[in-house]
Amino acid sequence: MNKQITLIVLYIIFSTLAPAASSKPVFSEKGMVVSTSRQASEAGIEILKKGGNAIDAAVTVGFALSVTSSSNGNLGGGGFLVATMIDGESFTIDHREKAPADAYRDLFLDDTGSVVPGMSLYSRAGSGVPGTVDGLIQALEDHGSGKISLREVLTPAIRLAEKGFNLSHYEARRFNTYESFFGRNEAAAEIFIRKDGKPWKKGDRFIQRDLAKTLKRIAKHGSGGFYSGPVAEMIVEEMKRGNGLITLEDLANYSSIYREPVTGVYKDYTIVSMGPPSSGGALLINMLNMLEHYPIDSLGWNSSDYVHILTEVERRAYADRAEHLGDPDFWNVPITMLTAKEYAKNRIRDINMDTATPSNLISASQAPAYESPETTHYSVVDQWGNAVSVTTTINLGYGGGHLVKGAGFFLNNEMDDFSSKPGVPNAFGLVGNKANAIEPGKRPLSSMTPTIVLKNGKPFIIIGSPGGSTIITTTMQVILNIIHHNMDIKEGVSSPRFHSQWLPDVIMTEPRGLSRDVIQNLELKGHTLVPYNGGYIGEANGILITEDGFYGGGDSRGETSAVGY
């Protein structure tokens, strides 16, 4: 039953819109915001117009998304922010959720040592301590222009929550599809199911008064308005309605953390991305390092040889992910090894262009003994060239469905991103081991890959995507689409994708993603192809920066919005 729900949730996340024929990217010269929500993108642009920088705008977008995109852009979740600033500084802010202090390795196992189905996803114990509010405020305080106050970045969000906004056709449809899911939680039903019992429709005004109050508390008290006082108490009350673990102390102790970006060089480009506790940046760089040895230009976009080689590097990278990646505060992640050119060169030695390597013949490398359906992505650039790339999530759509009564937001079910038991897959089919076992205060391993690609030292592509385990391969394919296949940003993010992740040993495809003869050629090489169970893969929202200016491209898979000025 729970597995079924997960599949439905994933399906709904990625099946709302089929990729339409690509339209042109949005062009502007002074700034650009690309996100999943028109109101959020516009809110970001308003701040840029007031003279704010890309950080001010990104923080504004983040808070606005918590209102307009409640299935994912939520105060009850966490994320990663990657930025490159014109003064040459680049940094990341890890505001990933943390396991509560009472969490322990076998939290989701029964007495016989088996994983309790659905517990990490749908019980209150599936919620980690949220990080979004602390991360966004930290970014604003340390790297905002100083011209824009906390109240100003929260104003659009408060307005959108208090006065409401009109639902689009797709938003109304999504609420209707989730009706029975909302019905499982009284507070969620109160807000997300229409009072008259009728289905939502396009143009309905959607008001979230409790959420507005929470946002006002944050505007007044900063992080303290969320991590202590009434909101914190309401979160703890919500935990008590089930078997939730988050305490007032966990909330008071939460803090986001600056981490060095992971960087790599691919051809003429520098990749700046998110390191552990995300696996995204390390795998992206590792896979590009492997691909550097192949004539990607001449293989041709989505040809069978192209799909084959990407699949082969993906299975090797994801095998390492399962073994070596976890929260670096708890696990010695061999990041130098994983991002090294030499390592990639050795790792491809057994790749054969004619036949697939069965995944059971691939295992993770030995680490050296010593080593020094729902998420959303938004990209922002300002007139000075400061670039910000943020991916944020509460894991599945509307998290585990637990809305904090009185505070108006859903809590994440991010504890499912831990490895509940070695070898047992999570909602995204990912397996893990000790590196990603549950421990108190630890952050679950993520695939989120907010990335900035530099050309001649300056931001060239700002990119990232939702999509669980597919996020990393989506981000890579968009980068390859632009660098090798001469696509503009709109085509780059919207073109059909495929995905492979070591286990299960298959290539997942989108509807009409690969032609029949390409599929046949791949099968002849020994690959198994299956439709991606979420329908469409990810929702990449990116910006391409050229000498002319900024080109924004929202993924045609979603109701995305690129706004420039």
Binding site for ligand DON (CB under 6 A): 13, 373-375, 393, 395, 414, 417, 446-448, 466-468, 471
Q: Which is nearer to ligand DON, 31 or 73 (CB)?
A: 73
Q: How far is the CB of 394 from ligand DON (least distance, A)?
A: 8
Q: Determine the residue type at 120.
A: S
Contact 200, 170 (CB under 8 A): no
Q: Which is nearer to ligand DON, 138 or 395 (CB)?
A: 395
Q: Which is nearer to ligand DON, 306 or 331 (CB)?
A: 331
Q: Which is nearer to ligand DON, 56 or 555 (CB)?
A: 555
Burial class of residue 256, CB neighbours in 10 A (0-12, 13-18, 19+): buried
The C-alpha atoms of residue 270 and residue 335 are separated, in whole angstroms, by: 17
Taking Cα atoms as reference points, which of 235, 56, 229 lies closest to residue 151? 56
Q: Is 473 a catalytic residue?
A: no
Q: How far is the CB of 373 from ligand DON (least distance, A)?
A: 3
Residue found under tokens 């208090």: 162
Describe the crossing of helices 471-483 and 304-324 by its angle, rounded to 10 degrees.
140
Question: Of residues 6, 375, 470, 509, which has the active-site annotation?
Answer: 375
Q: How far is the CB of 71 from ligand DON (least distance, A)?
A: 9
Q: How far is the CB of 276 from ligand DON (least distance, A)?
A: 12
Q: Which is nearer to ligand DON, 107 or 430 (CB)?
A: 430
Taking Cα atoms as reference points, which of 14, 202, 49 lies closest to residue 563? 49
The C-alpha atoms of residue 131 and residue 495 are separated, in whole angstroms, by: 33
DSSP string, 140-190: HHHHS-SSS-HHHHHHHHHHHHHT-EEPPHHHHHHHHHTHHHHTTSHHHHH
Q: Which is nearer to ligand DON, 97 or 305 (CB)?
A: 97
Within 8 A by CB and 6+ apart from 146, the residues are none
Taking Cα atoms as reference points, which of 537, 453, 487, 461 lies closest to residue 32? 461
Residue found under tokens 């989120």: 448
Q: Which residues are catalytic?
A: 375
